[in-house]
Structure 1
Amino acid sequence: MKYFYIQTLDKNNFVPNNDEFLVTDFKYKFYYLLQEELFTFVASPDSSKLLVYYDTPRDKSSREQFGFHVFDTELNVLWHEYKELLVNDLKYDIDRHVINNNGDVFLLGKTEKRNKGSEFTIYAFYNRGEGYTEYKVDFPGLITTEGQLSLSQDGKLICCGFYTRNDVDKIAGYWFVSFDTNTHEIVNSYHTEFDIDLITQNLTYKEEEKTRKKDEKGKNVDLANYEIRELIPATDGGYFLLGEQLIVQEKELLPAKHGDDPAIKIFYYYNDIVVLRLNSEGSLVWSQKIAKSQKSLNDGGYYSSYGVTSQNDNLYFVFNDNEKNLDYDGSGKVYTFRANQDDVAVVVKLDTEGAQKRTALFAIDKRDIVLRAKKCKEINSGEMIIYGEKKTTQRFARLIFN
């Protein structure tokens, strides 16, 4: 995969136009490593720049290597970079990518430490590669586990994530740090624990009572198995930090015989969404959990998870749900979504005060496809392209929220 091609789609019907053309090739000295690599695409806030990032495969003897190209709106190459880090760790990962309106690029590197959380480093490329800075994200005494990058309304670089007390599969609170991209200095840092009201939200009465009693006795009741998702800027300079509960369980059906591999089932559970509303300094304004229960088998959560867009600081989440949850009011049982079993696509509106409203996205009698929520993408504020499929039928639609 040495070449990068572009082909446009008709905006009205999403049919590919007959205009495929070569944008650039990747002929640097390590080009042969790109044979198995995928690309990441990120637009600047004003859509004037496009970042195309590629992380090269490597083995135990090689260091972390990556490259990227920055394009303008006509897909002209503005500048590009290839870098080799002084990191030789197969667990090292760069999975967060941000580009600002000037074309500066920011990447978040993550090193997982066994039973000690993760360490984070921000790599900042300025002035079309002429300037370079590394930021170490450090909170002494905290075990940081998850991180995300974003840009504030005034151009500051924001890094935010979760931390734990001692169990890396649980999260006890969140951390926040902002950087001035002109002075390259830390502007503000903050961290705080989750309160018991967030932890017990959406539990049944018995589960909530049991959890609160454990908390009163000083026992660990932290949220378990949450992964960080988006860090969305708000119009007032604040942010929305989103996380989702993901549990993957393997179950052996039959023991292996005569050297054969055992038969294994892998279950995927995509559950509640956590939303933290932060102010410009990183302090918590309010927090909410959106009830969601999705279960699937051996498919990687094909129809699970969610898509999200924001409009005037209202958040709109789309995902597959069980139709019995349409009247869910925050208490009682949350019914589980399984594809083709009482499934319904829903929209949950989370308003500026944190109040929720859940409605069906389509009429119940017109659910001839199943939403692929992971493929639903925001294209403008309050505007989203959604995608659904069933057998050989595929369908796109544009949602506009006012």
Structure 2
Amino acid sequence: MKKKVLYLLLLAATFYSYGQKELSSDYSFTVSEPYQVYDSPKKYYFSDGNQILTVKPWKKSVVLQKFDVSNLKQISVKEYEDFPDNYVVEGMEQLQDKYYLFYSSWTGKKIAHEQLFYREINFGTGEFVGEAVKLIDIDGRLAGTFASTAGVSAPFAFGFGVTDKFSFLTSLDESKILIQYRRKPEERNDKESYDIIGTEVYDKELNKLWANEYTMPYTERRMDVEDFAVDSDGNGYLLAKVFHDDSNKDKKKRKDEEANYHMELFRLSKGSSEIEKTKIELGDKFINGISLFESFEGYMICSGFYTNGLNNELHNADGLYTFKITREGKLIDEKSYEIPLEILNQYVKNRTKKRNERKDEDGKAEFEHMKLRHLIIADDGSLLMIGEQTFMIVHYSRKRTYVTYHYNDILVSKIDASGNLAWMKKIPKRQSGKPKMGEVYDTSKTYQGGMSYSYFNANGNHYIVFLDNVKNIDLELDQIPALHSDGYGGYLTSFKINDATGAISKGSILDTREVTDKMEVYQFSNNRIVKTTEDQFVLEVYKKSKEDVLIKVDIN
């Protein structure tokens, strides 16, 4: 399920004049003096352009830090230990000029209540405002994510437990927030069980606008929730994949030319306990992923990737699609865009090129394991869609079985305001990794670590930033990138794409193994990168000796 994208910002300490070792004239960077590290499995970063606020929950305490962006000096550090023993952080959200930390607390089997609390943070002072406020109190248990909780405040210390019981989505203008939860099913047979999903909508002051619990119109077996959204009027939306029978969901027979499912949009509105449904179909195309966004025009935009009806792999992509949904639930402006063969054949082996050429003759050439990661809506109505090739591989041996997670090529596509494909670019990337012992991650989702990418836009350009293998610095168009192994250093690399022309260039920013003559850094994560100003972003990394540093990168 989609959660709001937050481009995180970073901490700082006293400014330190390290020798700089920039690798590209397009970028320069400054490193702060080392400062005390605060451990936390979930770290949140915010910036107003001048200062940075960081929120670091850990076991029974939460640390709030403030930093100055210009000189990377630490302004304040405050630690709060007045949280309940069994609290679990559910999220950190910004609503315009308001900042809220949400956490849940389970009352226990005797009382059996799930509760959601929030604490407001004053960005200016870097302090909590008043005491915790109980926002939601539910009689009974909620479903959540079975996740590793090593080092997390949870009833299961250093083991596994249920987290992420609540999901948070904000409107485009950040004036509304939708909080969603799912009751724990009473019936264990998914062919007979109907999900009960709670939806509560609040304004930016967290005044409740409306709330309702909806019993889904299809059994768990017949329905998968794909996405949630809320618009600026406070209406809720749910995208669902609805299966036509109780067979093995996405699986289909080789000769099938029609999907065993269709998509439906559920509209959830104040004052109505009924779900308004709209069926979504793309003819003979199989939708392999779909996401929902609010546009500046007042429409909801659906987008994702599709495969042609004759293909056998539903997780692959033949092309991408977009369409709009009016507030009344009507589908308009449906568009689809095929991925050209020349794009598919970039940065692949010769035998893969020949296989793609053979498949293309039958309309079967496709981009494997493609998932939509970002959709950026520009002020002029144009769209930027970013997809990433991601999958996992299970490795079997006599001694053990383990899983590796892979984040490979990126596909960036611009659709202009008229609905025409302006350009499409493939960015070469090969990343592989697996969780380390004791590392905190969601066992139901793909492990990320220091892999994947960050996205920024500045001065009419789009930037894709990720950690790469040093061997790929001078990679040519016909060369296959070398594999980057997560957790073993690498070069922070940026691809710049001109918004108007699609012209693409590449630059290497820094080497994590030798940021300066004196320093190697560790624990890189794209979740610790944030854009601070139009042409600047900051990242936080670990330098060992129980110290972190900030690295401020300027786009020249």
TM over 0.5: yes
2:432 corresponds to which of 286, 290, 295: 295
- Matched residues, percent identical? 20
Alignment of structure 1 residues 85-124 onto 2, 5 Å: 85-90=216-221, 92-111=223-242, 112-115=249-252, 116=259, 119-124=262-267
The residue aligned with 1:170 is 316
* Residue 144 of structure 1: how far off its partner (Å): 1.5
1:343 to 490, 501, 517: 490
Q: Secondary structure at the match of 1:197?
A: helix
Q: How does 1:235-246 map to 2 (within 5 A)?
A: 235-246=379-390
Q: Rate the CA distance shift 1:114–1:278 in 2: closer, same or farther, 3 A.
A: same
Would the aligned equivalents of 1:106 and 1:125 in 2 still touch at CA under 8 Å?
yes
Residue 184 of structure 1 is matched in structure 2 by 329
1:21 aligns with 2:167: no
Q: Which consecutive unaligned segments of at least 5 residues does structure 1 have? A: 255-261
Task: Report if the CA contact (8 A) 1:64-1:84 is conserved.
Answer: yes
Q: Would you say the 8 A contact 2:171–2:294 is kept in 1?
A: no
Pick from 360, 365, 375: which aligns with 1:221? Answer: 365
CA drift of 1:334 comes to 0.8
> Post-superposition shift, 1:5?
2.1
1:204-283 correspondence to structure 2 within 5 Å: 206=350, 210-211=354-355, 213-215=357-359, 217-218=361-362, 220-254=364-398, 263-280=400-417, 282-283=419-420
Provide the rounded CA distance (Å) in 1 between the counterparts of 2:346 and 2:552. Answer: 32
Separation in structure 1 between the aligned mates of residue 200 and residue 272 of structure 2, nearest angstrom: 11
CA change 1:188–1:244 in 2 (3 A) is same
Distance 1:243 1:389, change over 3 A: farther
**Residue type matched to 1:296 in 2?**
G
Letter in 1 for 2:524: L
* 1:329-368 mapped onto 2 (5 Å cutoff): 329-352=476-499, 353-362=501-510, 364=512, 365-366=514-515, 367-368=520-521
Give the corresponding residue for 2:469. 322
Check if 1:40 corresponds to 2:200.
no
- The answer to whether the 8 A contact 1:118-1:146 is kept is no
- What value does the CA root-mean-square deviation take over the aligned residues? 3.3
Residues 214, 362 of structure 1: alpha-carbon distance in 2 compared, 3 angstrom cutoff: same
Corresponding residue to 1:134 among 256, 271, 277: 277
1:296-311 equivalences under 5 Å are: 296-298=433-435, 300-311=447-458
Deviation at 1:141, TM superposition (A): 1.3
- Cα distance, 1:270 vs. partner? 0.6
Structure showing greater radius of gyration is: 2
Structure 1 residues 141 and 325: alpha-carbon distance in aligned structure 2, compared to 1, 3 A threshold:
same
How far apart, CA to CA, are the structure 1 residues paired with 2:430 and 2:542? 20
Q: CA deviation at 1:370?
A: 3.1
d(CA) in 1 for partners of 2:534, 2:287: 31
Greater alpha carbon shift after TM alignment, 295-304 vs 165-174: 295-304
Distance in structure 2 (CA, Å) of the matches to 1:187 and 1:381: 34
Provide the C-alpha distance between the structure 2 equivalents of 1:50 and 1:379, rounded to a whole number of angstroms.
24
Task: Work out which of the residue numbers 179, 192, 203 in structure 2 matches 1:72.
Answer: 203
Unaligned 5+ segments in structure 2 are 1-105, 107-113, 145-161, 243-248, 253-258, 437-446
Query: What residue identity is the alignment partner of 1:370?
Result: Q
C-alpha separation between the residues in 2 aligned to 1:272 and 1:19?
47
Show CA shifts across 1:43-87 (max 9, x none). Answer: 222222222222334332421221222222222222222211111
1:138-149 → structure 2 map (5 Å cutoff): 138-149=281-292
Quick one: structure 1 residues 339 and 190, their matched pair in 2 at CA, closer, same or farther if it must change by over 3 Å? closer
State the aligned residue count.
390
AA aligned to 1:98 is A
Provide Cα deviations, 1:71-108, integer angstroms capped at 9, x if missing partner: 22222222222211111124733242222222222221
Q: Distance in 2 between matches of 1:298 and 1:74?
A: 38
Deviation at 1:248, TM superposition (A): 0.9
* Contact 1:305–1:374 (Cα < 8 Å) also in 2: no
Is 1:151 the equivalent of 2:327? no
Instruction: Provide the rounded CA distance (Å) in 1 between the counterparts of 2:549 and 2:302.
Output: 36
| 1:33 partner amino acid | L
Q: Taking structure 2 as the reference length, what is the TM-score of the superposition?
A: 0.62
**Counterpart for residue 195 of structure 1:** 340
What is aligned with 2:183? 56
Aligned: 1:370 with 2:507: no
Do the aligned partners of 1:387 and 1:396 also contact (CA within 8 Å) in 2? yes
Highest relative contact order (Cα 8 Å, sep 6+), 1 or 2? 2
Q: Are 1:373 and 1:387, in contact at CA under 8 Å, matched by a contact in 2?
A: no
Is the Cα contact below 8 Å between 1:7 and 1:16 reproduced in 2? no
* Equivalent AA in structure 1 for residue 142 of structure 2: L
Alignment CA distance shift 1:190-1:277 (3 Å): same
TM-score (norm. length: structure 1) = 0.83
| Equivalent pair of 2:529/2:538 in contact (CA under 8 Å) | yes
Mapped partners of 1:289, 1:394: distance in 2: 34
Do the aligned partners of 1:175 and 1:191 also contact (CA within 8 Å) in 2?
yes
Go from structure 1 to structure 2 and tell me whether the alpha carbon gap of 1:296 and 1:393 turns closer, same or farther (over 3 Å shift): farther
1:300-319 superposed Cα distances (whole Å, 9 cap, x missing partner): 23221122234466332232
Aligned-residue offset at 1:340: 4.3
Structure 2 Cα separation of the partners of residues 7 and 125 of structure 1: 27
- Secondary structure of the structure 2 residue equivalent to 1:223: coil
- Does structure 1 retain, via aligned residues, the 8 Å contact 2:382–2:414? yes
In structure 1, C-alpha distance between the alignment counterparts of 2:485 and 2:134, rounded to whole Å? 42
